[in-house]
Amino acid sequence: MTSCWLLAAALGVVMGPVSSLRVTGFKVPSIALIGSDVELDCSFSAARNAKLYSVKWYQNHEEFYRYMFSERTPVTAFTRPGINVDLARSNNSRVTLKSVNFNTSATFRCEVSADEPDFETVYRRANMTVIQVSEDGPLINGLRDQYELNEQLNVNCTSPSITPNIGTHQTKLSWQLNRQTVDGQTIQMQSADPSQSVINLRLILTERHFDPKTGLLRLNCSFTVGRPTAIYFNRSLELSAALMHPTTVLDPRPTQRSYKSKDSRSASYSSGGRRQFRLSLVTFLAVIPYTLWTCCNPC
């Protein structure tokens, strides 16, 4: 038994005490649009009898928000370039920044501290970049008004420009044809503007690419900023083109309609009536001579 206690004590010295305070959730968007409001989340947990001291937020190394658990007025916000805290939407686990600008971009750190006797402190941090997206995109170039079957579709899509340049790893251009994923050849092109992306689409047009009712194809180019789990910006452009001879995509078989069958049955009924009338007339004409002969030659 003594050896077990000695082993446990030795492990405690080597590993240190188990922390009862930890950050359980942390959310700082990696991208924010200029002029938007941004929420910074920092949730935490502590032992049941633990006493918390403060939650502090830093922009780079400068404190801009403080929540003191023991104070009557717990919230204090500090003036910083690009930092405008919405106090009505901020508390001990969330800070809301109003109308962010380029000066807001920084490394943000949330720091949670326990009160005496331990004064334990835990923190998490992440980077956020504020961007501005131009209004001129995405743009589709090379799409004609009309196409023949078996012609090649060859079009480019250019993204809007982004300031500052965040590279292509957080932006995506994608094609859709008639609201379906395109199975043609998509190629990433080189753009003269490093803040823009260009993709090319080439495919041979067949009947299945055109709507059988309208003879139109609908081409959509979408531009997104972010990741599949966190989309910060999305804009798309849709254009259409017509098949030069739209009748070729329609079903050549005549359209079957229910009312035609009713007309044919009606016609057959009418025809049967005419046949009955003709039979009665012939019988009547055949009986007249016999009747006259009988009247003229009485027995």
Domain membership flag for residue 259: no
> What pTM does this model have?
0.71
Please report which confidence band the pLDDT of residue 117 belongs to, taking 50, 70 and 90 as the band edges.
Answer: confident
Nearest in space to 74 (alpha carbons), one of 101, 54, 103: 54
180-181 sheet: strands from edge to edge: 146-147, 230-243, 216-227, 171-177, 180-181
pLDDT tens profile 71-89 = 999 999 999 999 999 999 9
Please report which confidence band the pLDDT of residue 11 belongs to, taking 50, 70 and 90 as the band edges.
Answer: very low
Q: Is the pLDDT of residue 291 over 80?
A: no
Q: Quick one: pLDDT at residue 71? A: 93
Show the domain range for 94.
Answer: 19-131
The share of the chain scoring above pLDDT 90, in percent, equals 59
pLDDT tens profile 179-214 = 888 866 788 887 888 888 999 999 999 999 999 999
Do residue 49 and residue 104 come from a single domain?
Answer: yes
Write down which residue in 111, 131, 151 finishes a domain. 131
Q: How many domains does the chain have?
A: 2
Mean pLDDT of the chain: 80
Domain membership flag for residue 107: yes
The whole-angstrom separation of Cα 146 and Cα 148 is: 7
Kindly give the pairing relationship between strand 171-177 and strand 180-181.
antiparallel
Please report which confidence band the pLDDT of residue 119 belongs to, taking 50, 70 and 90 as the band edges.
Answer: confident
Domain membership flag for residue 275: no
pLDDT tens profile 247-266 = 644 444 433 333 233 333 22
Do residue 46 and residue 118 come from a single domain?
Answer: yes
Write down which residue in 79, 112, 131 finishes a domain. 131
- 220: CATH: 2.60.40.10
Do residue 53 and residue 123 come from a single domain?
Answer: yes
Domain membership flag for residue 47: yes
